[in-house]
Amino acid sequence: DIQMTQSPSSLSASVGDRLTITCRASQSISNYLNWYQQKPGKAPKLLIYAASNLRSGVPSRFSGSGSGTDFTLTISSLQAEDFATYYCQQSYSTPFTFGPGTKVDIK
């Protein structure tokens, strides 16, 4: 199975901050990488698919980049509603494993 890691595991930030979360795959996955946002008690929501494609309706402050083994999710200006946990997921080969998550909370 492909192992996914994320850093940091948690961070504290303020509204307006620029945020970058890193995801690394244990082998090359090309651009088969998705990002999800999850708030407590809610199902995950798709933000980015195929590494850099913004899902329709997702604010443009979210962006994704990377290819191969290293990927990033960037939030250009953090908003109050962005405090949540973010997961990356590889869809290169089954099982489509998730990273352990990055929890973003208020500083």
Partner 1 sequence: QVQLVQSGAEVKKPGASVKVSCKASGYTFTGYYIYWVRQAPGQGLEWMGRINPNSGGTSYAQKFQDRVTMTRDTSISTAYMELSRLRSDDTAVYYCARDKGDVYNWNDYWGQGTLVTVSS
- Stated as kind and residue range, the H or E segment containing 39 is none
**Only segment of 12-20, 60-68, 69-77, 93-101 that touches partner 1 (CB under 8 A):** 93-101
Sign of CA dihedral 70, 96, 53, 79: negative
Torsion of CA 93, 31, 78, 14, to 10 degrees: 70
User: Encoding tokens for residue 28?
Assistant: 């090359």
Is residue 95 at the binding interface for partner 1, with CB under 8 A as the rule? yes
* Residues of this chain, 11-70, that bind partner 1 according to CB under 8 A: 32, 34, 36, 38, 43-46, 49-50, 55
Q: Considering only 18-26, 64-72, 74-82, 99-107, which stretch makes contact with partner 1 by CB under 8 A?
A: 99-107
Smallest distance, partner 1 to C-beta of residue 34, A: 5
Distance between CA atoms of 32 and 13, rounded to whole angstroms? 28
The contact set with partner 1 (CB under 8 A) reads 1, 32, 34, 36, 38, 43-46, 49-50, 55, 87, 89, 91, 94-101
